[in-house]
Structure 1
Amino acid sequence: MNARFPAGAAALLLVAVLTACGPASDDSGNAGGSPSPSAGASDGPVETGTPSPSPSPTAKGVALPTDCRAILSDDVLAQLEGTPLNDAAFGPSGVGTDGTLTCVWADPRADTTRLVTTISAMNRGPALDMLNALADTEGFACFTPDGGTRCEKTWPNTQYPVTDGRTLFWRDDIMIDTRYSNLSPSGYTSSIVAHIFD
């Protein structure tokens, strides 16, 4: 699944794929997206200890999720067992005022082991720009599973002997953006995709 494409070929592939994923197919009524963690709105997300608001529908009608556990399969949750979710030590998490869901799986006592996922609305244009830039300038491998576009890359942590990485999945105006270090449950992104789109 980690096929490598030359930068130019990956960019052309993304243009073709994302163009095909445009609003022409409206029968599912699905839409939504999420920027990268640094591209969020100025208002930070609220803590998950407060009641979750109703899911925010995207332009195409797909509701953004509001529960970090509900979007994962039992198998993935079992792999995360014992890892704290949305500990206050890591700052704002949960559902933001714009509907973005931020899930932080990490123990504040650990130096590097963590997984942070942001799910929010992102239109095709900004998504295309982001994914093309990652493929062209940062060496991300991109492919087209589950009716969307997925880009991913792993690298050695600069301080510890563990693997860091980032996986992004875009479909129907929803971006699922996960950054991780030494914590990469098998089937994690696929589980989220199945929950949101199936």
Structure 2
Amino acid sequence: MATIDRHAVRTASAFAGVALVVAALAACATPPPGASVSTPPTTSSPPPSSAALSSPAPLSEDEATALVLPGACEDIYSDAMFAHLTATAPPLNDPGHTTPSTELAAGREVLDVAPSLRCTWGGPSEYGLSTNVTIVDAAQAASVEQAAVESGMTCKPHAEGTICRTWEDLFVDGELYATVGETHYFRDNGWVATHWTNFAPEGYTEDIVATLWPSLAPTE
């Protein structure tokens, strides 16, 4: 049950009484006929200061280049690359394609907790690839990149970030069984990881970088 604040009730009653007295005095103070009544001059509000009208502060370089996680796999490729993948390695996101986008233990730990978009091409077979576009903090990015270097991947600068690659041929009884590889790209809060098997489209990761970071893509 609600508790009544008796002090508030007494205060409200007191204000009500004061209001009645003020109203009565106002009625008695009506000027006689012919008397002039002066009104106080009106004042206008000062114009807003220039600071209030100024535009928002520009974004910092890090804020301007920060990656926003795409909403769909179609959004991470150029039209030409998407058409190529559709023609050469369908389907997109087959539920039977469960290969992770990296074999790096540090990378899998980050993928378990970080916001990420997973895109796969090809069915559950020895042909296709899987990619994750992931939002990472500085510590997570450094951990995965260090793991990539320690695993023997070749890393170099690319589009104001770092791209790392590795690949190897797998043999069974002396016969070539499959060629597998990984490519990783790190830039600010973004990490693009791809693991592929017998399917490595030329310029695949570079196309994703140019699509997600268009202002950072190389011009040559």
Amino acid across the alignment from 2:74: R
Q: Aligned in 2, Cα 1:155/1:77: closer, same or farther, shift over 3 Å?
A: same
2:60 corresponds to = 26
- 1:97-176 equivalence runs, <5 A: 99-108=115-124, 110=125, 112-136=126-150, 138-159=151-172, 160-176=176-192
- Would you say 1:78 and 2:91 are equivalent positions? no
1:66 corresponds to = 71
1:56-103 residue CA offsets vs partner (Å, 9 max, x unmatched): xxxx4x31112212221233223321521111223599xx99641000
Rounded Cα–Cα distance in structure 1 between residues aligned with 2:162 and 2:62 = 17
Q: Aligned in 2, Cα 1:90/1:162: closer, same or farther, shift over 3 Å?
A: closer
Q: Aligned in 2, Cα 1:26/1:149: closer, same or farther, shift over 3 Å?
A: farther
Rounded Cα–Cα distance in structure 2 between residues aligned with 1:187 and 1:30 = 25
CA-CA distance at 1:117 after TM superposition: 0.3
The answer on whether the counterparts of 2:99 and 2:130 sit within 8 Å (CA) in structure 1 is no
Q: Give me the TM-score of the superposition, normalised by structure 1.
A: 0.62
- Would you say 1:191 and 2:204 are equivalent positions? no
1:14 corresponds to = none
Amino acid across the alignment from 2:60: D
**Residues paired across the two proteins, number:** 140
The answer on whether the counterparts of 2:117 and 2:133 sit within 8 Å (CA) in structure 1 is yes
Name which structure has the greater RCO, CA cutoff 8 Å, separation 6+. 1
Q: Aligned in 2, Cα 1:134/1:106: closer, same or farther, shift over 3 Å?
A: same
Q: Give me the TM-score of the superposition, normalised by structure 2.
A: 0.56
Rounded Cα–Cα distance in structure 1 between residues aligned with 2:154 and 2:60 = 28
2:96 corresponds to = 89
CA-CA distance at 1:119 after TM superposition: 0.8
Richer in helix (by share): 2
Q: Helix, strand or coil: the match of 1:178?
A: strand
Amino acid across the alignment from 1:152: R
- Give structure 1 stretches of 5+ with no counterpart: 1-24, 32-59
Q: Aligned in 2, Cα 1:91/1:154: closer, same or farther, shift over 3 Å?
A: closer
